[in-house]
Amino acid sequence: MNRKLLFALIGFLVFVTGCASSAKAPPDPSVQRLQAQKGYDELDREMNNNGALDMESPATAPVTASTNPTMVNNQPAMVRQQQPAIVKDYEGPKPTLMVLPATKAKEAQDLIVIQNEPSSKAMMEAINAFLTQKHYEVKSLEGQGALDELIQMQQEIAGDEEDFSYLASLALGADIYLTFSGSVQGDMVVAEINAYETATARLLGSQTSEVKNNSGPNANLRALSQSAARKAMPGLEKKILAYWSADQKNGVQYKAVIKIKGSYSNTQIEDVHESVLSTLKTIFNKVSVNVMTSKTMDLIIYADPQKYADSHEVYSAIRNSLKSVASISKTNISRKLLLMDLQ
């Protein structure tokens, strides 16, 4: 009985061994993924318990809130760039301008000769082109008629005055006049342009620019002079408009020259001066005195353009307001200048 049991047991073992040696069924992928995840989790727990691994490469710095406002967690942030302030162009009425060479001509005729000299003419053309492109009204000292007005102006207002640029701007009614000069300094061509208020001859601003002469003695100086002048104009224009915008708050400026006719005592002259000034200050925004003598009152009048549209209306206001003081008559009126006699 025991022999039979032994043979049965041996047969069973052989059967089991044969089954084990047969081909294995392919593993279940889901089981493999589960086992791998368990392994990763175990590794993570071990690293958390033991601290970070000591690697040869530099350790990564801990992630903290950056003090740089343009970084978030050490990553570039999407920052809205601040848009620059929009500076609008000046939109009010622009001044009337005049461009002349910077020179102390001894005669009015000399000024026209100088401005027609090739290098001066080249710079003037460049400046005038810039101004007309910006829609300025530009006065020009051309022709015998303009020359005659200038000569008369010198005789009536200036006597021995030799600043013909100033006289020309008064004669032709420019609000502001520009004077220019050019020079060659080494390998640079330099342009200097000044702007003056006509009624007072006050300097409003200066601008100097230079361009390099890369062609040596064969350079086209005319073209270089024009280039230097054009380069200077944008900066000077900003200064002019800044003055013009601020000064318009006081009113439009007019130069008023009153010649006192007749014989008066010193006391009477004082009375005339005081009466004229006090009266004009009541009807205009502001009145400034350039010169007062026994024969002449040279004034700057700031008139409200809403009340007085032009120099003729300003003259009428002066004449009517001074009727109780003296008789006023005009001798010459231009856009910026009033020449009057008082008697």
Please state the rounded mean pLDDT for residues 140-151.
Answer: 61
CA separation for the pair 214, 234 (Å, rounded): 24
pLDDT at 72: 39
pLDDT at 220: 83
pLDDT at 77: 44
* % residues pLDDT > 90 (the chain): 37
Instruction: Using pLDDT thresholds of 50, 70 and 90, give the confidence band for residue 121.
Output: confident
**Structure token pair of residue 85:** 């302030």
pTM score of the predicted model: 0.65
Please state the rounded mean pLDDT for residues 14-27.
Answer: 48
pLDDT at 21: 47
Indicate if the pLDDT at residue 278 is higher than 70.
yes
Please state the rounded mean pLDDT for residues 181-210.
Answer: 91
CA separation for the pair 61, 250 (Å, rounded): 66
Is the CB of residue 195 less than 8 Å from the CB of residue 236?
Answer: yes
Indicate if the pLDDT at residue 342 is higher than 80.
yes
Indicate if the pLDDT at residue 151 is higher than 50.
yes
pLDDT at 105: 56
Q: What is the DSSP string of 250-273?
A: T-EEEEEEEEE-S---HHHHHHHH
pLDDT at 80: 43
∠ CA 15-21-27, rounded to 5°: 120
Is the CB of residue 154 less than 8 Å from the CB of residue 107?
Answer: no
SS3 category, 135: coil
**Structure token pair of residue 283:** 């009807």
Cα-Cα-Cα-Cα torsion 127, 133, 134, 135, nearest 10 degrees, comes to: 110
Task: Please give the sequence-ordered ranges of beta strands (E in DSSP) within the chain, or none if there are none.
Answer: 71-72, 75-76, 97-101, 138-139, 176-185, 188-197, 202-212, 252-260, 286-292, 296-303, 328-333, 337-342
pLDDT at 42: 54
Indicate if the pLDDT at residue 99 is higher than 50.
yes
How many angstroms from the chain centroid is the CA of residue 72?
38
Indicate if the pLDDT at residue 343 is higher than 80.
yes
Sign of CA dihedral 154, 157, 163, 164: negative
Q: Among 133-142, 214-223, 262-271, whose mean pLDDT is lowest? A: 214-223
Strand-pair category, 188-197 with 202-212: antiparallel
Strand-pair category, 337-342 with 252-260: parallel
Indicate if the pLDDT at residue 329 is higher than 90.
yes
Mean pLDDT (the chain, rounded): 75
Please state the rounded mean pLDDT for residues 151-163.
Answer: 57
**Structure token pair of residue 151:** 């000569």
Indicate if the pLDDT at residue 200 is higher than 70.
yes
DSSP letter at 53? Answer: -
pLDDT at 335: 87
What letters, b where the CB count within 10 A reaches 16 and e where it falls short, cover 296-333? ebbbbbbbeeeebeebeebbebbeebbeeebebeeebb
How many angstroms from the chain centroid is the CA of residue 138?
20
Is the CB of residue 229 less than 8 Å from the CB of residue 182?
Answer: yes
Q: 10 Å Cβ neighbour count for 334?
A: 18
- 194 forms beta bridges with 179, 206
Q: 10 Å Cβ neighbour count for 85?
A: 6
pLDDT at 47: 43
Residues 6+ apart with CB under 8 A from 315: 330, 333, 338, 340
Residues 6+ apart with CB under 8 A from 157: 167, 170, 257, 337, 339
Residues in the chain: 343
pLDDT at 153: 60
Residue of higher predicted confidence among 3 and 216: 216
